[in-house]
Structure 1
Amino acid sequence: MAEEKDILNEEATEETEAVETNENTAEAVETKTASPEVNEEISIEDQLKAAQEKTAELEAKLEEAENRYYRLQADFENSRRRARLDLEASEKYRAQSLIINLLPAIDNFERALQMEADEEQAKSILQGMEMVYRSLLEALKNEGAEPIEAVGKEFDPHIHQAVMQVNEEGFDSNHVVEEFQKGYILKDRVIRPSMVKVNQ
């Protein structure tokens, strides 16, 4: 009888140990099963955060590239505009250097034409010179160059160069009394100001 009790106790103990072992195993399995889900959730959050950071970085690079593109485009447009304006100015004032070189010759013609001639031969020479002089002025006019009006006009420092100041009756204050050297303007550009005497 005592032996049967011992056997029963041993069997009960073994069953209890088996149940505890099974419970521990189940808990371990549950823990192992739950752990990958938690790790997976953490991993997805990390990936989402990394993706957002990468997106923000790419957006910043895109914005920088767009700004650089717009700056380059603006620089290109400015360069094209400057080149066009330079070409237009070059075309507009193409005769300027030639006209400037001709002005001393025209001045000499004007001084020569102020001479009085008594002989017929001298008169005919002066007439020929006057014809050449008028042809030169016509050529200048065709290129857009014209003499600046001075005597009797109000002094303008942009087109007149005052070399003397006098006090004469018959002229308004700050008006040109006399012109020493004729000035010329090419279209809208002064290529030589008039040298003048100005009334106070």
Structure 2
Amino acid sequence: MSAKETQNDTLDTVLDEAAQEQNGAEESAQTEEETTESARYVELVKQAEEAQQRYLRAQADFDNFRRRTVKEKEELAQYASMKLINQLLPVVDNFERAIAASSSNNDFESMAKGVDMIFRLMSQTLDAEGLKPIVAVGEPFNPEFHQAIMQVESDEYEEGIVVEEVQKGYMLKEKVLRPAMVKVSG
């Protein structure tokens, strides 16, 4: 073998070894990259599972909150009138006393005074709860507060003014509870 052939064989061997080292390095880098990607994938799966668990807990908390508020709302509606009923019980007691007293001695004047006192007590109770009568007579007709049942001729009032109140109207705080039934000048 000539020196040139030996040199070429050595060169080929060195090149083969370099190529093998490079392939080994590439495989090592690829294996390392795959390991990194695999670890990243595992981490992302773990984060997704944690997020799913947080979501399910939040959903359960919200469902519990919704059920609790519905129950509280039902209880509030069921017992909302309890305070007013407690305030009206003395009125009922006084009515019972007035009826018992008038039936035993037929004193209708005393009964009328008793009923008047009871009416004032009840009016005070309702007033304390925010019930106010709607002022109608002499006021311009307003369909939000008045319900016209008749139109009448009037020399005393201009056209469109409430002349007579047939049934009182009431407001509860700022809301019309029942409009006043009125006659309006035409």
TM-score (norm 1): 0.52
Partners of 1:96 and 1:162 lie apart in 2 by: 34
Once residues 20 and 183 of structure 1 are traced to their aligned partners in structure 2, the CA distance between those partners, rounded to angstroms, is 118
1:161 corresponds to:
147
SS at match of 2:141: coil
- Out of 10, 14, 32, which is 1:26 matched to? 14
> Aligned equivalents of 1:148 and 1:167: distance in 2?
23
Q: Which residue of structure 2 lines up, in the alignment, with residue 107 of structure 1?
A: none
1:32-181 residue pairs with structure 2 within 5 A?
Answer: 32-39=20-27, 94=81, 123-181=109-167
Is the contact made by 1:96 and 1:186 (CA closer than 8 Å) also made in structure 2?
A: no
Q: CA offsets, 1:123-149, max 9 Å, x none?
A: 454333322322222222222222221
Q: Secondary structure in 2 aligned to 1:196?
A: strand
How many residue pairs get aligned? The number is: 154
Change (3 A) 1:163 1:95: farther
**TM-score normalized with structure 2 length:** 0.55
Matches of 1:26 and 1:139 in 2, distance apart?
A: 109
**Compared CA separation, residues 46 and 131, structure 1 to 2 (3 A):** same
Contact 1:96 1:191 in 2 (8 A): no
Q: 1:186 to 1:198 in 2, by over 3 A?
A: same
Whole-angstrom distance in 1 between the partners of 2:161 and 2:112: 33
Q: Residues 180, 97 of structure 1: CA spacing in aligned structure 2 closer, same or farther, 3 A cutoff?
A: farther
The Cα offsets for residues 87-142 of structure 1, whole Å up to 9 and x where unpaired, read as 9x96xx747986xxxxxxxxxxxxxxxxxxxxxx6545433332232222222222
1:39 Cα deviation from its structure 2 partner: 4.6
How big is the alpha-carbon RMSD for the aligned residues of Structure 1 and Structure 2? 4.7
Q: CA separation in 1, counterparts of 2:150 and 2:82? A: 31
Bigger Rg, structure 1 or 2: 1
Taking the aligned partners of 1:162 and 1:170, their CA distance within structure 2 comes to 18
Cα deviation, residue 197, structure 1: 1.0
CA distance in 2, matches of 1:125, 1:20: 137
Secondary structure of 2:164's aligned partner: strand
Q: Percent identity?
A: 28
Q: Does 1:199 align with 2:168?
A: no
